[in-house]
Amino acid sequence: MKIQHLRMLAIVAASVGFALPVANAQDATYDQFDLLMFFRNPNGGNGTTQVVTFSLGSTTAVFREAADPMSSNYGTTMFLGNVNSALTGNYGTNWSSLSANSTIFAGAVGASNTLTTNLDTGLENDDWARTVYFSRKRTSAGTAGSPNSSNFTLPSGATAQSNIASNIDGANNVALSESNPFAVDNGSTVFDSLNPINVSNVAGTAFTGITSGVAGRLLTTSAYSLGTATNIVVGLDLYRGTPLANQTGSWEEVNGITGVSDRVGYYLGTITLSLNGDVNFVAVPEPSTALLALGGAFTAAFFSRRRRQTSTVQ
């Protein structure tokens, strides 16, 4: 019996270390609670008046679940679709290698529910009111399963939370029920005004409260690999920020996940865009963390079985 348990643990550990991409169907349309990836070329000549949006799937059913060790997507790289045709049609065939002063920016945001006012106290889509999902650009390849983006702090107070959630929900709704991906004129969206980027390609505060923005520049000169995703031109660490259970005070994780500081979002994984237009979500945990969690689970199961066997003998 011990040998069987050890073999199972070895098999699972190997599967964590060498997780293969999971083939997910590309979203047909954007729905209310989806995570929306957006692309802009704010300072260049190609497609500066166009925003390309790409729905990546449910904030909770896809991305929050991927951070749950009991999820089937935990420890995987999920393929979310390809945006090459949309980017080529709006920014040209050289979208992935535009000059430094004409670089495309990519970001991802989602509001998990429509309860966005500072008086809302309920749950919707399995998240507290005003819960938001937002990206931060990785500063380098780093380690799969670990965030590698610059520090940030979310604002405190229900009013500030409400403003950010409402802004994200309002911006994303421009793509509501549209075919995926979807291109829209800048004048019809607030992605431009709510994601300021100066002439030096430095992102400002996004959605009136996320410091240093949610979008990152595409840089083909430093393409890298992460997990099983390759030729990555931009990596976006995805975070989840949700208010306290009493809905007043600061933003922080409330679902029993430890190690999350006050007003700092909980890291869920990394969205990647590759040179060929493939979009993936790398939800791979750190090997040591994954093995400890799996080891603990199998140890608990093993001793639980031993206790049952002992009770039967007695």
Q: What is the CB-side half-sphere exposure of residue 29 using CA atoms within 13 A?
A: 9
The predicted structure's pLDDT at residue 135: 97
- List the end-to-end C-alpha distance of the chain, in Å, as a whole number: 20
The predicted structure's pLDDT at residue 21: 52
The predicted structure's pLDDT at residue 263: 63
Length of the chain: 314
CA 43, CA 158: separation in Å to the nearest integer? 34
Q: How many Cβ atoms are within 10 Å of 1's Cβ, its own excluded? A: 9
The predicted structure's pLDDT at residue 284: 64
Contact assessment for residue 224 and residue 218, using Cβ atoms and an 8 Å cutoff: no
CA 249, CA 54: separation in Å to the nearest integer? 33
Structure tokens at 311: 């009770």
The predicted structure's pLDDT at residue 12: 40
The predicted structure's pLDDT at residue 297: 46
Measured at the CA of 188, the angle between CA 187 and CA 190, to 5 degrees, comes to 80
CA 54, CA 38: separation in Å to the nearest integer? 6
The predicted structure's pLDDT at residue 191: 92
Which 8-state DSSP code applies to residue 64?
Answer: I
The predicted structure's pLDDT at residue 260: 52
Rg of the chain (C-alpha set): 21
Strand 127-128 vs strand 123-124: parallel, antiparallel, or unpaired? antiparallel
Measured at the CA of 156, the angle between CA 150 and CA 161, to 5 degrees, comes to 90
The predicted structure's pLDDT at residue 312: 46
Residue closest to 119 by CA, chosen among 248, 251, 253? 248
The predicted structure's pLDDT at residue 11: 35
The predicted structure's pLDDT at residue 90: 92
Contact assessment for residue 87 and residue 52, using Cβ atoms and an 8 Å cutoff: yes
Mean pLDDT in order along the chain per 10 residues (314 residues): 38 40 70 93 86 94 88 89 94 82 90 77 80 93 91 80 90 90 88 90 92 91 90 94 59 47 78 96 66 46 48 46
* Neighbour-count burial for 278-291, b at 16+ CB within 10 Å, e otherwise: bbbbbbbbeeeebb
The predicted structure's pLDDT at residue 286: 53
